[in-house]
Structure formats: C-alpha cells, structure tokens
Amino acid sequence: RKEVEQDPGPFNVPEGATVAFNCTYSNSASQSFFWYRQDCRKEPKLLMSVYSSGNEDGRFTAQLNRASQYISLLIRDSKLSDSATYLCVVNNARDMRFGAGTRLTVKP
Amino acid sequence: NAGVTQTPKFRVLKTGQSMTLLCAQDMNHEYMYWYRQDPGMGLRLIHYSVGEGTTAKGEVPDGYNVSRLKKQNFLLGLESAAPSQTSVYFCASSYLSGGAGELFFGEGSRLTVL
C-alpha cells in the first residue's frame, strides 16, 4: 500500500466550478502536510501548507483530519490557469512522501 | 535568480553506461535531495544530504550514488545504467530539514536508458 494515496483523476471541470481533491496517508506519525502544484513537464511548486485548523489562501482551502488521516484541497471558482496536477505531500518525520498526484483540467 | 539548476536536462544512455547528474543551488540551503518521478508513482526519494560532506539513503537508493563535496552542489551518479532507471529526476533543496521547510525543485532531468 502506498504511504500517500490520491485519486489520480483526471478531473475535468468547467470554469467557475468548485472542485475538491482528497488524499489519505498511512503513517500516523506524520507531522506536516502540504499541497504542491505541478504543471505539465515542469517541476513541483509549493501551493500551500495544511494546518490542523484548516487554512485558506484566496480560492484555495486546505483541510486536515488527523483522526481519519485525510487531507483535502478545495478550489473555488476554477480558472483555466488552475489546470495542473496537484500533489499531496506528507512529512513522515524522516522525509517527505509524495502522492502520485491528481490531474485537473479546467475547460472554458 | 537561478534557484536550483540541474544539468543535463535530457540524456539518452545505453544499458551499462554511467553518468552523473549535477544539481546546483544558490540559496545557501543545507538540505538537498534527489527524487525520481515515474508515471503513477509520485516522486520517490533516492538520496538526500543534510549538509556539506554528508549523504543518506532515501526510499529507492539502489543503483545510485551521491556526493556533496560543496554545500551548493549535489551530484547523482549512475554507475551502470539500467532500463528501470528511465525516469525524470528532480533535485530539490530546502532551508529546513524534513518537512519543515518548502522544497525548491530544479526543472528536472529526463533520462532514457535503452
């Protein structure tokens, strides 16, 4: 079983839609959590950290449920420029473990 | 404003050949990492370094060696390339260890082993 699991998608949504991605992790000792964004054939870049109380950055909202070992990312009012692969990343106290990513395509 | 630079960006090797990937960062980061990315697998850590002169094994270290002779450089070597090492390789650096700090990635190196 992979340590970090994501629905691979693809998610195809119209502009303006709200879309949510989920991620589960298996290591209960995991300490910190992140969402990275990766554009096609580019390097990953940090989108946002995920805090226990949940956090928001503009149209993006991240939630963490430690009891269920579950992380989510909500994107409101999707833009064409949001099209990318979103990587769930978990720190297992020794190193960072990456999910395989969820691909999002936002269409006009 | 280079950040993390990887060379080469593309390389084709024959089975059994050797090569070295170079990663250079200009952010004075202590921590550096080499990942590989394969379809459906996510990024997997090969080796990492917590400072000049130190290296450690990650999740998938077999078939690779690394060196960190200078703080700004982290080299990844393949002594005898195999088709299973066909992948996209990413170098990253961070100011803080583990997951405490943001990872800054290079643009990636696409390696094909025939």
Say if the Cβ atoms of B59 and A95 lie within 8 Å.
yes
CA–CA separation, A108 and B23 (whole Å)? 39
Across the interface, do B103 and A99 touch by the CB < 8 Å criterion?
no
Tokens of A21: 């991605």
Taking residues A4-21, report their average pLDDT.
Answer: 94
Residue pLDDT, tens place only, B48-100? 999 999 999 999 999 999 999 999 999 999 999 999 999 999 999 998 776 56
CA distance A78 to chain B (A): 24
Q: CA quadruple A29, A33, A39, A43: dihedral positive or negative?
A: negative
**Which two three-digit tokens encode residue B108?**
């990636």
A89 to chain B: which residues are within 8 Å by CB? Answer: 99
- Count A/B contacts: CB-CB distance under 8 Å: 56
Instruction: List, for residues A79-98, the tens digit of each pLDDT value.
Output: 999 999 999 999 877 778 99
Question: Chain B residues with CB inside 8 Å of A46's CB?
Answer: 102-103
Cβ–Cβ below 8 Å for B99 and A8:
no
B97 vs B19 pLDDT, higher one: B19
Beta strands at A55-57 and A44-50: parallel, antiparallel or unpaired: unpaired
Q: Are strands B109-113 and B10-13 parallel, antiparallel or unpaired?
A: parallel
Distance CA A57, CA A59 (A): 6
Identify all chain A residues contacting B98, using CB atoms and an 8 Å cutoff: 31, 91, 93-96
Of A2, A45, A95, Cβ closest to residue B98: A95
Q: List C-alpha distances in Å: B104 to A26, A90, B11, B33, B107.
A: 25, 16, 23, 10, 10
Indicate yes or no: CB of A43 within 8 angstroms of CB of B107: yes
Nearest to A104 by CA among A28, A35, A24, A1: A35
Looking at residue B1, its pLDDT comes to 65
pLDDT given for residue A81 in this prediction: 98
Q: Which residues of A touch B90 (CB under 8 A)?
A: 43-44
Distance, in Å, from the CA atom of B65 to the CA atom of A51, rounded to the nearest integer, reads 36
> What DSSP string runs through B50-97?
SSTT--EE-SS-TT-EEE-SSTTEEEEEESS--GGG-EEEEEEEESSS
- CB of B59 within 8 Å of a chain A CB? The answer is yes
Cβ atoms of B105 and A44 within 8 Å: the answer is yes
**Residue A59 pLDDT exceeds 80:** yes
